[in-house]
Amino acid sequence: MKHVSMLFSYLILLASITMLCWGVLGFLEYFFDIVLFIPLQNASFPSGTQFFHWLIITLSGTVYLVGYFTRWKFTPIAMMILFSMLATMCFIQTFDFMTNDSRYFDLAREVLYYIVMSVYLVKSRRMQEHYGRIDIKQVSS
């Protein structure tokens, strides 16, 4: 089980690097119309929605990577907040703007991913050893 947890923690790092890169590329396209690989903007999203989409994605990758490498003890809490923001944005995009047939399945998969990641970051022994235990009194002070 220890190896599975270690592998999962490395997958979170990889996902965070991916999110940071994806967010930066999305902002390059959003602000400067620079498309490096494939177009990332969704024409069905309003400009403001698109901006917050890239902002939250970029913040998620950045916060996790900085938090992980500095061992910031509030990284799991910060990520749960960012995951909640990402899930909210996904709900808005799914129900207000998307039209593809797989949108509800994609939403469910994404929300499940955020839940699994949050539980792992808060409850796993590996993450508790990495970040330290978080006491509710520390969060509320």
Give pTM, 2 decimals.
0.90
Task: Check pLDDT > 60 for residue 48.
Answer: yes
Q: How far apart are CA 48 and CA 23, in angstroms?
A: 15
Cβ–Cβ < 8 Å for 63, 13: no
Grouping H, G, I as helix, E, B as strand and the rest as coil, residue 32 is: helix
Specify the DSSP class assigned to residue 76.
H
pLDDT tens-digit readout, 60-91:
999 999 999 999 999 999 999 999 999 999 99
Cα separation values, 64 from 48, 89, 125, Å: 24, 19, 18
**Mean model confidence pLDDT for the chain:** 93
Cβ–Cβ < 8 Å for 69, 17: no
- What H or E segment, with its residue span, contains residue 12? helix 2-32
